[in-house]
Amino acid sequence: MISGSLAFALKEKGLAQKIIGVSRTEASIQKALQRGFIDATASLEEAVAQSDLIYVAIPVSAAKPMMKKILNLMRNDQILVDAGSTKASLCAALSHHPMRGRWVATHPMWGTEHSGPEAATHDAFRGRACVICEKEQSDAGALQSIEEMYRSLGMHLVYMDAKSHDVHAAYVSHISHITSFALANTVLKKEKETDAIFQLAGGGFESTVRLAKSSPDMWTPIFLENRENVLDVLDEHIQQLKQFRISIDARDESALMKLMENANRIKRIL
C-alpha cells in the first residue's frame, strides 16, 4: 500500500522515469504490474544496481537484515529511504554502517486498514505528516532530495530523534490499532449473532473498529519492536477504561461527565 501509493505519486509528478518492483511474492509483483505502478521487476541486486532511489516498505521485523543488505550493495550516489513505523531499533542497528549517510529514515504518517498492491491509492499523502528521524546522520544532499520528494507529495515534515518518534507513534498510532483489535474481539466474543452486528453497527462503531481489519503480519512486528512504549501507553489506556467502569458502576454522573469533558479537549487539538 505505502510503496505502491508512493510509486503512483512519483510517476504522476514526473519524479521517476522507471520504477522497479522487488517483492518476496510473485503474486504481489504481478498485481503491481497489472495496476501499472511499477514498470519492471528484478532481483534485489539487479534492482539496486539500476536505481537512484531505493524505497523500502516492509514489515519492521524484516527491515534490519534487508536494509543492511541493501546498504552493502549501494554506491555513494544512491539514496535509501524506509517507511517503517518504528525507528529506534533500526537506527541503532545501522548507526555505524559505512553507508549510513545515504539512508534517510522516514515514517510517512498515512495508511488505511488495507494492505498489498491492490490497496495502493492516488494522491495518498497530501496533507499528512512525514517524520524524518536522525536527520543529522544523513548526508545533506540525500536529506534534501528526500525532503523535496515528500514536500512534492503535499506532506509536511516533522523532525525527531528515533526514540522520541517511537514514543509518540505508540500514543497516536499503535494504541489506536490495539484498541480497535480489542474492541472487535470484545464484540465478537459477546455478540454471537453476526447478523445483529451487521444490522445495528453504526458509523461510530464502524470507524472505531475500522483498524481491526489491518494486517496482523504488519502490526504484530510493530507492537513487539516498540514493546516498551506500547506497554506504557496500554497500561495508561487500561487505567482510563477502569475510570469509566468505576464511574458507571457507581452511577457517578459527575465523574462520568468530567471524564468525557476532559476527553473533549482533543477536538481543540485535532
Residue 166 and residue 87 in contact, taking contact as beta carbons nearer than 8 Å: yes
**Predicted local distance difference test score (pLDDT) of residue 101:** 98
**Predicted local distance difference test score (pLDDT) of residue 205:** 74
Whether residue 157 sits in one domain with residue 171: no
- The residue whose grid cell reads 499503535 is 174
Residue 144 and residue 5 in contact, taking contact as beta carbons nearer than 8 Å: no
**Predicted local distance difference test score (pLDDT) of residue 189:** 82
Whether residue 19 sits in one domain with residue 143: yes
Whether residue 151 sits in one domain with residue 30: yes
**Predicted local distance difference test score (pLDDT) of residue 270:** 77
**Predicted local distance difference test score (pLDDT) of residue 5:** 93
Last residue of a domain, one of 161, 195, 221: 161
Whether residue 9 sits in one domain with residue 139: yes
User: If DSSP codes are grouped into helix, strand and coil, which group holds residue 53?
Assistant: strand
**Predicted local distance difference test score (pLDDT) of residue 18:** 96
Residue pLDDT, tens place only, 223-249: 999 999 999 999 999 999 999 999 999
Whether residue 148 sits in one domain with residue 192: no
User: If DSSP codes are grouped into helix, strand and coil, which group holds residue 17?
Assistant: coil
Last residue of a domain, one of 144, 161, 178: 161
**Predicted local distance difference test score (pLDDT) of residue 159:** 98
Alpha helices in 77-213 (DSSP H): 88-94, 140-152, 162-169, 175-190, 194-200, 203-209
Q: Which amino acid is at 16?
A: A
- The residue whose grid cell reads 472487535 is 184
**Predicted local distance difference test score (pLDDT) of residue 269:** 80
CA angle 70, 72, 78 (to 5 degrees): 65
User: If DSSP codes are grouped into helix, strand and coil, which group holds residue 134?
Assistant: coil
Rg (CA), the chain: 21
Residue pLDDT, tens place only, 140-172: 999 999 999 999 999 999 999 999 999 999 998
Q: Which of 215, 178, 221, 224 is nearest to 66 (CA)?
A: 221
Low-confidence ranges of the chain (pLDDT < 50): none
Last residue of a domain, one of 146, 161, 176: 161
Specify the CATH number for the domain of residue 109: 3.40.50.720
Whether residue 199 sits in one domain with residue 81: no
**Predicted local distance difference test score (pLDDT) of residue 200:** 67
**Predicted local distance difference test score (pLDDT) of residue 207:** 77
Whether residue 148 sits in one domain with residue 97: yes
- Specify the DSSP class assigned to residue 242: H
Specify the CATH number for the domain of residue 237: 1.10.3660.10
How many structural domains comprise the chain?
A: 2
Rounded Cα gap, residues 151 and 108, in angstroms: 11
Is the Cα torsion angle 187, 188, 191, 193 positive or negative in sign? positive
Whether residue 154 sits in one domain with residue 175: no
Whether residue 177 sits in one domain with residue 139: no
Other Cβ atoms within 10 Å of 221 Cβ, number: 19
Contact partners, residue 49, CB within 8 Å, separation at least 6:
73
Rounded Cα gap, residues 49 and 65, in angstroms: 18
Rounded Cα gap, residues 165 and 133, in angstroms: 7
Q: Which of 208, 256, 225 is nearest to 87 (CA)?
A: 225
Enclosing domain of residue 75: 2-161
**Predicted local distance difference test score (pLDDT) of residue 38:** 94
Rounded Cα gap, residues 199 and 215, in angstroms: 25
